[in-house]
Amino acid sequence: MPSEPLKVLVIDDDPTILEIIKATLEDRNYVVTVRREPLGTTAQVGTLHPDFVILDINMPALSGDHIAEILLKSGRIAPECIVFYSASAETELVKLARRHNAGGWIRKDGDTEAFAKKFDAIVQQSRTRRLGTK
């Protein structure tokens, strides 16, 4: 981990999931902000300047992949800093991550340790990608 904790914004309409993710990532020294409402995410990203955004795919009003499209068009976050998180089929998550050139995807399966390890790996891979482009 870097000396300054990374900021993570998590958008999910399920308050229990948000609570679990927040606790899991904070235990790993991330600074976590959660959001239940997908509408207004672009403005919050502009204010918060998170290092990573974790997006639930299946939300009412605006799906996570549509939020990703909006964020990417706005230029407020790099594609490799977007992580899709859903109970959707793995093939669907892979397809969405590739379509948006996202940093990765994590399947909702209730295993918080596996979630944390996969997120740490995505963070490390993103750092490597960014260093490789400089």
Report how many helices (DSSP H) and strands (DSSP E) the chain contains, helices first. Answer: 5, 5
pLDDT at 130 over 80: no
Q: Which domains does the chain have, with CATH numbers?
A: 7-128 (3.40.50.2300)
User: Residues with Cβ < 8 Å from 126, sequence gap 6 or more?
Assistant: 52, 80, 81, 103
User: Residues with Cβ < 8 Å from 118, sequence gap 6 or more?
Assistant: 104, 106
For 9-61, write each residue's pLDDT tens digit. 999 999 999 999 999 999 999 999 999 988 889 899 999 999 999 999 988 88
Entry pTM: 0.90
Gap between the Cα atoms of 13 and 18, Å rounded: 8
For 48-89, write each residue's pLDDT tens digit. 999 999 999 988 888 888 999 999 998 889 999 999 999 888
For the chain, give the mean pLDDT. 90
